[in-house]
Structure 1
Amino acid sequence: MTAAHSSFTTRTISSLEKVFADEELQAAEFRRATALQKETFSYQVAYRSAKLAKKIQIRVESALASSIAVRTVGLVPAEMPVYHDHDEHVLRSTPGLYPDPLLPVTEAEGLTGLPHQWRSIWVTVDLSAGVPAGSYPITVVFTGQDGQELARETLELDVLAAALPEQKLIHTEWFHTDCLATYYGVDVFSERYWEIVDNYVKTAVAHGINMLLTPLFTPPLDTAIGGERPTVQLVDVEKAGDAYTFGFEKLKRWVEMCDRNGVRYFELSHLFTQWGAKHAPKIVAVEDGETKRIFGWDTDATGEGYKSFLEQFLPELVGFIRSNGLEERVYFHVSDEPHKDHIPWYESASRLLKRFVGDFPSIDALSDYDFYEKGLVPTPVPASNHIEPFLQNAVPGLWTYYCCSQYKQVANRFISMPSARNRVLGLQLYKFQIAGFLHWGYNFWYAQYSRFPIDPYRNTDANYAFPSGDPFVVYPGEDGTPVESLRLEVFREALQDLRALTLLESLIGRERTLELMEQGTDAPITFDVYPRDAAWLLACRERINEAIRSHTA
């Protein structure tokens, strides 16, 4: 560290550290790194002031300065950081303030150094535009309110000539547009609503999310039985007796918005309720000039009324898909997280769907192998702690997911967990050739079961429902744009590791790539056995980069 003021201390550290305001900084210094073209490289500079210091200015000196952004790592309360029976691989289990949101640093406000508190800034280097290969010093300079230099920290970034290949993994984080409308107080489908949705989609795509949950009808997800979420239905429905007509103008606009932002796949919202497929999702229609709900919790999923609706709707939807050239881009859903005792209902729903959309892939998060064995779901999405039977049976095109229940041994990204536990997933996805990854919480800003809205800056656990951080990875910015979390940034690094491994495999083969990846491990990597420390992960990525360099020179 280089400090011009004895009362101001700094240290350059990696992106895999979490800096707590109420403890001494343990993180090792991080001075050198490599990165590939088309990569986003991140690291931190931690700082501590001996006395209150306001309006500290940050300046970046580097040939890469135009590609560098600096944000401050904010703190949020975690009242329920983890469940009572958590494993030992967490940073803390106590309630308190945890680092997570990456907040803008304005020139007017600068940074505030609070007495004897370690804080950090997050430095992001965007190499997507391509820069000449070479070594680039990046110097971050801290200046006091009086203009006097307080400290400067330099990291040497070696940019390689090779570029990350395009991401093959299909990745979805469930996108809740009703939460956007609720938080920002805008009408669904107003022009401002579309602008805000567009902003959040841009950020999602920039972080490796290439599939978007598409609300044909209001998604029947995390909704209390008998309750409703705000209507975000993209398909217009008119009802006349037993006949229906459908309008796809909003869905067409959604597709065009996704195309503009680089979304590759459309995850069509579930056509039956969560946890059992026993009911229809909330569907509204215009009947006799009045807009009203025609299906929902009071609808028997196996009844003739809903069956007749689907028999009329699904052929029209398939026609829309084909006329818009989306045949290779859509995935259907039946019901989320059905259990073994739900098989009769799920089977009925699955068979009905298959009659009309048999040519299109269908995915569902479920963890009982029986669903796949019975042919009820062609592409199962088992949880990472229930994936073993699917791996043993070599299920082709296998996906996986995690959520609040995957908190023992396997990778996850709760606010209380070390960032290495977040990032290691990239290596696991590569080793087991996983085709897709799903998570339910890009921006779920309601209490559990969508009972009422919450402020994600104050409530990070969906009102004491899930470990803090599980429901979302972005926070709402004041101007209708998202504030990213450090967890989202680290997850992007995991996906970049996956892409780097894919590149290396194309150069030296899969067997040698796996050997190099697992070098220095005590046991072969699985979903619940893997190195736990940040230093090993950082060294692993450096090995991968050096092998790429030596085979592309």
Structure 2
Amino acid sequence: MTQKFETRIVHSLVKIFPDQELAETAAASGAALLNEVFSYQVAYRSKHLMPEVKVTAESGIGDRITLRSVGLVPSEYPVQHDHDDNMLRTTPGLYPDPLLPLNGDGVLRAYPGQWRSIWITVNPQNEVKPGLYPIVIRFESASGDKLAEERFELEIIGASLPKQQLLHTEWFHTDCLTTHYHTEAFDEKHWGLLRKYIQTAVEHGVNMLLTPLFTPPLDTEVGGERPTVQLVDVEVTGEDGYRFGFDRLKRWTDLCDACGIEYFEFSHLFTQWGAQHAPKIMATVDGETKRIFGWETDASGEAYRAFLNQFLPQLVDWIRENGLESRSYFHISDEPTLDHLGSYGSARNIVKDLLEGFPIIDALSDYDFYEKGLVENPIPANNHIDPFLEHGVTPLWTYYCVSQYKKVSNRFFSMPSARNRILGYQLYKYDVAGFLHWGFNFWYTQYSKRVIDPFRVTDAGGAFPSGDAFLVYPGEEGPIESIRMEVLREALQDLRALRLLESILGREAVLEALDEGLEEPITFSSFPRDADWLLSKREWMNGKIKEHIHKSAVSS
């Protein structure tokens, strides 16, 4: 290192480690559509400690630009022991992930000899005219001396991404907000936080939200329970008699409408991994709040069956009264295995007629469930999706989580960002209807035994590789986003750009172009690994869109 202060522009798919030399070449230009969020980075390194470095952005679209500092968080468990070789590193240490707001003066600290970066986000929001816009990022010392500046040219292309067709849910853990921010469930502070987190999810392509009719029976220790977050009021009126209230659920759906949520997935009606018990359900009994169902409840027993026979018809009536029929989805149980065919089938039979006409979706990877008619809308993991594709299952969703770490796309800290972003191309090629992930903001240890600080514990207490359990961090006033969340949004934008290109060239031409020049066609387990392929393919797409705009202008 010869200079006192070095800077370099790099694209958004670079993860910059403080203890690693920066090998990526500079990238000084890019392009985005009128309603597309565009991100890039400016890396910096100081020879000496500089406690105060001021960073500013200068551009004709400066009001559309946000600067954030890429923070470092620890990972004690980066990846499983038998991982594949498509990894950045596998050792424990500090990994770049949270996108931290700069203070009001745009001041950051530069550590001696460490590469760090500023994350630049441009959001045109359909309010910037097509054209070329220079962006200058300037670094100054505490005394006002210029340390460095980097110029980037962003082209805004005169076309808009079409509306997202993909149904996308990142499971929203309402109770994690109550425990981290020390609120009561659904008090006014909680509602305010819910709004901020839901808005952030929507801005990043989430259009379906896990809705806790009752406390979701997810990642809960057998015999244990998670904090109560129950939207439906229940009152016991007599033996096997119940009265239900939906006021809180109405406030939830109204809030979701205001934030842009389009679909509701009502929380699972039976416990995870087998559908053998009822979820925790709280009710007013003789004026006192008590738990009336839970782990002690046999899912197929008469008591819970009687409850569902009363509750679900009233819920369905409420859904119809509020015009939500086409926006409502249900779950039975998460991730059942072949050992649970009997209990899952029994649970399905209990609710099948009660939920007639509503889609039931569940994450499960054994084709037998679909073949035996136990689930009409399966969500197989991306490493178990082939049998479903071979049999032409439609509509078909997919998901990934802790177990999907060989050959397929995922988003652990230790993985290249290209392995995150390739998902958009895969979803397009196979015309996937929906994508599910379990961890938007899971800030507990495995089985929800303890609360964790996600800035210090990023692996759910040593259970899941860092990057699996959450996409956002809890800031003082609301969510702090992550590199992984921004790159996932880029993947969904690629998917929408492919849909736009399909409307211009036709689907067959787009599919042919995706695989052009590759040794193997793109599948869920075979895909280009390097970021350059992704960026060049998107550049090609942008070029075709611009050609179409030009031809349309000439012909008119």
CA distance in 2, matches of 1:204, 1:467: 22
1:366 equivalent among 348, 364, 367: 364
Q: Name the stretch that deviates more: 33-42 or 128-137.
A: 128-137
Equivalent residue number for residue 255 of structure 1: 253
**Deviation for aligned residue 1:97:** 0.1
Match of 1:400 among 398, 401, 415: 398
Residue 306 of structure 1 corresponds to which residue in structure 2? 304
Question: Could you tell me how far apart the structure 1 residues matched to 2:183 and 2:365 are?
Answer: 38
**Structure 2 unmatched ranges of 5 or more:** 551-556
In the other structure, the counterpart of 1:35 is 32
Deviations 1:87-109 (A, max 9, x none): 11111110000000000111447
SS at match of 1:162: coil
2:213 alignment counterpart: 216
Distance in 2 between residues matched to 1:488 and 1:411, nearest whole Å: 14
Alpha-carbon deviation of 1:127? 1.5
- Specify the alignment match of 1:125 in structure 2: 122
Among 158, 173, 176, which residue is 1:176 paired with?
173
Is 1:541 aligned with 2:554? no
Post-superposition Cα deviations, 1:413-468, rounded to whole Å, max 9, x if no partner, equal 00110000000000000000000000000000000000010000000000000000
Residue 141 (1) aligns with residue 138 (2) = yes
User: Aligned partners of 1:376, 1:515: CA distance in 2, in Å?
Assistant: 36
Q: SS at the partner of 1:355?
A: coil
Which residue does the alignment assign to 1:103?
Answer: 100
Contact 1:55–1:109 (Cα < 8 Å) also in 2: no
Residue of structure 2 in register with 1:442 after alignment? 440
AA aligned to 1:225 is: V
- Written as runs of structure 1 = structure 2, the 5 A alignment for 1:11-410 is 11-108=8-105, 110-240=107-237, 241-410=239-408
Question: TM-score, normalized by length of structure 2?
Answer: 0.98
Q: Counterpart in 2 of 1:425?
A: 423
Q: Is the 8 A contact 2:48 2:113 kept in 1?
A: yes
Residues 274-299 of structure 1: per-residue CA shift (max 9 Å, x gap): 00000000000001111000000000
Which SS does the other structure have where 2:547 is aligned?
helix
Q: 2:553 matched to which residue of 1?
A: none
Measured in 2, the distance between the counterparts of 1:519 and 1:143 equals 46
| SS state at 1:159 partner | strand
Tell me, in whole angstroms, the C-alpha distance in 1 between the residues paired with 2:489 and 2:384: 24
How far apart are the structure 1 equivalents of 2:118 and 2:417? Answer: 16
Residue matched to 1:463: 461
- CA distance in 2 between counterparts of 1:229 and 1:127 reads 41
Q: Does the Cα contact within 8 Å between 2:10 and 2:43 map onto a contact in 1?
A: yes
Q: Which amino acid aligns with 1:188?
A: A
Aligned to 2:482: 485
Are 1:505 and 2:502 an aligned pair?
A: yes
Q: How much does 1:351 deviate?
A: 1.4
Q: May I ask how many residue pairs the two structures share in their alignment?
A: 549
Distance in 1 (CA, whole Å) between partners of 2:303 and 2:61 is 61
**Distance in 2 between residues matched to 1:34 and 1:543, nearest whole Å:** 11
Secondary structure in structure 2 of the residue aligned to 1:171: strand
| 1:406 Cα offset (Å) | 0.1
Are the aligned partners of 1:280 and 1:306 in contact in 2 as well (CA < 8 Å)? Answer: yes
**C-alpha distance in 1 between matches for 2:444 and 2:396:** 31
Deviating more after overlay: 371-380 vs 439-448: 371-380
1:222 Cα shift?
Answer: 0.0
| CA distance in 2 between partners of 1:27 and 1:181 (Å) | 42
| 1:162 aligned partner, one-letter code | A
Q: Residue type of the partner of 1:138?
A: I
**Equivalent-residue separation in structure 2 for 1:520 and 1:77 (angstroms):** 39
Q: SS of the counterpart of 1:370? A: helix
Q: In the alignment, residue 117 of structure 2 is paired with which amino acid?
A: S
2:310 aligns to what SS in structure 1?
helix
- Cα distance in 2 for partners of 1:520, 1:140 equals 37
Q: How far apart are residue 345 of structure 1 and its match?
A: 0.6
Amino acid at match of 1:51: H
How far 1:552 sits from its partner (Å)? 2.1
Q: Which structure 1 residue ranges, 5 or more long, are not aligned?
A: none
Contact 1:516 1:543 in 2 (8 A): no
- In 1, the alpha carbon distance for the partners of 2:519 and 2:174 equals 44
Q: Secondary structure at the match of 2:279?
A: coil
Name the SS for the 1:357 alignment partner.
Answer: coil
CA distance in 2, matches of 1:445, 1:293: 24
**CA offsets 1:296-327 (integer angstroms, 9 cap, x no match):** 00000000000000000000000010000000
Pairing partner for 1:10 from 3, 7, 30: 7
Q: Does the 8 Å contact 2:55/2:106 carry over to 1?
A: no
1:74 is aligned with what amino acid? G
Distance 2:103 2:519 in 1: 46
AA matched with 2:489: R
Q: Please list the CA deviations of residues 186-236 of structure 1 after superposition, one character each: whole Å capped at 9, or x if unmatched.
A: 111110000001110000000000000000000000000000000000000
Q: What RMSD in Å do the two structures reach over aligned CA positions?
A: 1.0
TM-superposed CA distance for 1:515, in Å, is: 2.0
**Aligned residues of 1:234 and 1:250 also touching (Cα < 8 A):** yes
Give the secondary-structure state (helix, strand or coil) at the position aligned to 1:506. Answer: helix
Code of the residue aligned with 2:134 in structure 1: it is P
Describe the SS at the equivalent of 2:353.
helix
Q: Distance in 2 between matches of 1:541 and 1:519?
A: 14
SS in 1 for 2:490: helix
8 Å Cα contact 1:91/1:417 also seen in 2: yes
* Partner amino acid, structure 2, of 1:66: D
- Sequence identity of aligned pairs in percent? 60
Deviates more, 1:518-527 or 1:392-401: 518-527
Tell whether the 8 Å contact from 1:517 to 1:544 is kept in structure 2 after alignment.
no
Shift of 1:518: 2.5
Give the counterpart letter for 1:214 in structure 2. T
Letter in 1 for 2:372: K
**Superimposed CA distance per residue, residues 57-115 of structure 1 (whole angstroms, 9 cap, x where no aligned partner):** 11111111110000000000000000111111111110000000000111447111100
Cα distance in 2 for residues equivalent to 1:515 and 1:369: 29
Asked if the contact 1:57–1:107 (Cα under 8 Å) also holds between the matched residues in 2, the reply is no
Helix, strand or coil for the counterpart of 1:372? helix
**Contact 1:39-1:127 at 8 Å conserved across structures:** yes
Distance 1:229 1:129 in 2: 42
